[in-house]
Each structure stands twice: as C-alpha cells, then as structure tokens.
Amino acid sequence: MSQLEPLIADLALILICAGVMTLLFKSLKQPIVLGYIVAGFLASPNMPYMPSITDGEGVHVWSDIGVIFLLFALGLEFSFKKILKMGAAPIIAAVAIIIGMMYVGSLAGGLFGWSDMDCIYLGGMLAMSSTTIIFKAFDDMGLRQERFAGLVLSVLIIEDILAIVLMVMLSTMAVSKEFEGTQMLTSILQLGFFLVLWFVVGIYLIPLFLRKAKRLMNDETMLITALALCFGMVVFASAVGFSSAFGAFVMGSILAETVEAQKIEHLVTPVKNLFGAIFFVSVGMMVDVNLIVEYIVPILCIVVTIMLGQTLWSTCAFLISGQTLKTSMRCSFSLTQIGEFAFILATLGTSLHVTSDFLYPIVVAVSVFTTFTTPYMIRLAEPAYNVVARVLPAKWIAKMESNTTENAEETETDEMRLISRTELKRFVLIMIINSVLCLAVIAIMYYYGAPLIYDLLPDPWNGIVTAFVTLSICAPFLWALMRRGGNSDNVNRLWYEGGSIERVKITAFAILRLAIGAAFIAYIIGNTLHKSGMLGIFAVIAIAFYIFISPTAEKRSNRLTKTFTENLNEREHQQ
C-alpha cells in the first residue's frame, strides 16, 4: 500500500475543513473568510481531539502563493491608473493614517511598560491594515465596485508601498540605534525608480506581446502566460529587495490596462480562490489558545486600540483628504485590522533581536481577532454614521460636507493658472519617466553590455562602441527629456499671455531639462570614453546639440510615445 505524502494529506484536511466551514458560514449568511479562519483553527496542531496538519512549512509556502494570487487579482481589478484617477486623497489619507497609528501603537506599548523598540515596532504593525483580508471581505460582501471600497484599496496599496520604506527605516534604527535619513531617501528613490520602470516598460511591451500572440491564445495558454508574467515579476521584485506580493500587484496592474484583462481575471479566479483559501486557513492555524490566555489583557487592549484608533484617526484622515463624513466612516471602519505586514515586521524585529519574544504571538492573536471582526465592522459603518449624524449638530455636518471634494465642480476661474499647473505636471512626468529610462539603459549597458564589448574589442574602440551604443539607445529618451512638449499650444499660450512669471517658469524648466540631459551624456562619456576637461565639455555640448535637433531621435521618441499611449488606453478604447 502506497504512503501518501504529508503535504497531500494536509491539503486534503485543509480543504475538507474549509469546505465544511464555508458551507456552514454561507448558510448562516456570514462572510466566507471567517469560515476559513475557523477551519484553520480546527486543522491546526493547537486543536485537540482533531486531525491536524503535519507539514507546517509546506502549508506556509502555499499560503505565500495565496497572497501572491490575491494581490495579482487585486492588481487586475484595481490598477495604478485607477489610483492616479483618485487624485491626492489616498496619498493624504495613507500618510496621515500611518503617522497617527504609529503614534497610537507606540503609546499603547508604552502604557504596558514595554521597551522603546517594542513600542516602535508595535506602532509600525498597527499602522498597516491588511490588503488581502479587506479585498476578500469586499469581494464576499459585493462591495468591490463601491466608491469607498476603491478609495480604501487605493490607500492600502499606498500603505503597502510605504511599508517597504518603513521596513528599511526600522531596520536601520535597529542596527544603528538612530534614524538614517540618507538610507531611507535612497530606499524611496529606488522604489520610485523601479515602479516607473516596471510600469512604463510593462505597458509598452506586454500589450504588444499579447497582440502578436493573440491567434495562439486559448484559455489554457492565456492562463499559463498570465501566471508566467505574474511569477516572473514576483521573482524580479524579490531580487531587487521588494516583497513578492508587491511584484504580483504590479504585474496585475499592468495587465489591467490590456484588452485581455477581464479574460485573465476570469481565468485566474479559480486558482486565486484555491490558494487564497489556504492563506486564510493558515491564518486560523496560528491561533494558540494557551498564548491567548497568557497574554489576554494586552491582546484585548491592542484590539480595542486598533478599532478605536483606526475608526477615529482614519475618519479624520479621510476628512482631511476631502471625503464626506459618511465615506470617511465607511473607509475607516474597513481598516480596523492588521495583517500580513504585521507578521513580516514582527519577524524582522525577532531576527534582528530588537523586540521581545512575546510580541510575535500577541500580534498573531490580534491579527486573527481583527480579521474575524472585519466584516462586522464594515457592516457597522453605516449604522454608526446614522448615530453620529443624529448626535452631531447640523452645522458641523454641513461644514464637513462643504469642505469635501466628492462631486465637487471645478471652480478654477484663473484659466492661465490651471493651464500652468497642468503643464507643470506634464513636464515633471516627462522628466521622471525619461530619466528613469535613461538610468535603466545606462545601468544595463554598464553591468552587462560594456563587459561583453570590452572583451571583444581592443582599446580605444571598446569605449567608443560602448558610448555609441548607449547614446543611440538613450537618444529618443534624451530628446523627449530635453524637448517634448516645449512647443505645445498651451506652452506657447502661457509664454505670450501668461506674463513674466510664466515665462520665467518655462525658461527655468527648459534649462533644467537641458541640464539633466547634458548630465546623462556627460556621465556616459566620462565613464566610457574617460574624457574630461575642455574636450569632454565640447563632446557633451556637441552630442546634446545633435540629439536636440536630430529628426531621427524625434521620430523614434514620437513612435515610442504613441505606442505607449495607445497601449495605456487600449482597454478604454475597446469598451
């Protein structure tokens, strides 16, 4: 008789428990995610008189895959483009929530007499709500298309991005015992660089690939291709220091702009449901009754701190960002939990030996408690708003509603100022995108292209060829950096009708763009041809002038820009 592998037996137990519990919770009209958590508790070694899993490491790997699929599905449903359309509100709310909840968490830890590092790490754990749990709760409750749900998911994505910066900051504080602003700034710049690079290159290449391969795509090949792209980005994101889940979201957000997005989402849903179930079951497995009993007081206090802190502080944060009181309360009541980032941060503190041993089990118990209460808190938001609306004076409610941006009409009367602001954003976007692309080309040539060329060619031809190839590839990006949009109708109107201030702005931006382009050229010449002094300056000026007037560079830049724009708007044009 053959012996079953422990992992297969564990999968059978997990799915049997999950199947029974989901049917039970569905019949009771309760969120399915809570059934998964109960199933995890029943299948865990902490539950006596019941069969339990034997390969915890294998289940942990499967749960990590579940997080990847959940974030990939979130990216397909809610892309970066949608986040940008939300405006500054999610950014304002996310930053305010993180700062406020870090302070609340640190204060709570201080009241228990914990060490400074325990308090700081606890604050970081409480500052980040769980994207996967909220996404699943919205999905189960049919709220994903609601406006407030879109705002919440935007805030959660921004929190996940800022979480990377927070981890770097806490890591450096743990090692050096002081705040390293330079390293945090480097981390932010690195994050911004890769985000822009991934999005721009992905939007340019992936829709082209899908169009070329369309005749070969059936459901099977489409699913395999989408998952290959997802896990390829997961590996790349991990290799450059970001979380695997974040890489999955980035690829999902890129595919969300393609015409195949809806089909991919439909094909991925069954796989997402399977591995997502394993993830939520694994959360339930972390429930240890003995530890809960031992630390019940701090656990309950922290649960109350999260619920009160998030509902009060987050409501204020969303109000500040320009939302109505009702929307703010619906958003804040959705954020009353901690999730996977808290585990990552707790593990980081333990591995660096800067946090106490009791912090991890407390965080796990708090996460399970708050995960269980999340659907009920979401449902409680509207009744709570009705109570607040009856209690608060009508003048206060009217004042809060009048300061919101929802359904607001454009009241800008100064047309020149509006055009100036629009062109400023466009110039900044052009500079950022093309600078990132130039940096990426230089980095690839420096680390991969140059060694190959130097092995094949002798001096000085190796340096000349390397510089020529690098500048040729960068030429369309350098042209766009120095010239794109500089002669548009809006810019000409600002120059002739906007007055001296607008002319100074346009001139300053033109000089800045030329200076950045010249700096890239100087770096390439200095590091490949090793030219400096007057000869180097002359070479930089000559090459910059040639690219500036080059019709070839202009045509290549226009062609690349046109393809990118068409790919970015392809799905909207097909609808």
DSSP-H helix ranges across 240-309 = 244-255, 261-285, 289-294, 296-309
- CA dist 71 and 64 (Å) reads 11
Query: Which of 82-91, 229-238, 419-428, 440-449 shows the lowest per-residue confidence on average (mean pLDDT)?
Result: 82-91
User: What per-residue confidence (pLDDT) applies to 178?
Assistant: 56
How far CA 221 is from CA of 71, 77, 213, in Å, comes to 21, 21, 10
Question: What distances in angstroms separate CA 210 from CA 206, 335, 569, one per listed residue?
Answer: 6, 37, 15
- 40-73 pLDDT per residue, tens: 888 888 777 777 787 777 787 888 888 888 888 8
- What's residue 409's pLDDT? 45
Instruction: Please write the tens of the pLDDT for every residue from 365-410.
Output: 888 888 888 888 898 988 988 888 888 777 777 776 665 655 444 4
- For residue 507, what are the CA distances in angstroms to 364, 426, 483? 56, 15, 12
The answer to whether 322 and 89 are in contact (CB under 8 A) is: yes
pLDDT tens-digit series, residues 507-549: 888 888 899 999 998 888 887 777 666 677 788 888 888 888 8
Give the chain's radius of gyration (CA, Å). 27
**pLDDT, position 183:** 64
Assess whether pLDDT exceeds 70 at residue 413: no
- N-terminal to C-terminal alpha carbon distance within the chain: 57
What residues have CB less than 8 Å from 204, skipping those under 6 apart? 560, 563, 564, 567
Cα–Cα distance, 133 to 340 (Å, whole number): 9
Give percent of the chain with pLDDT exceeding 90: 7
Residue 48 to residue 45: CA distance in whole angstroms: 7
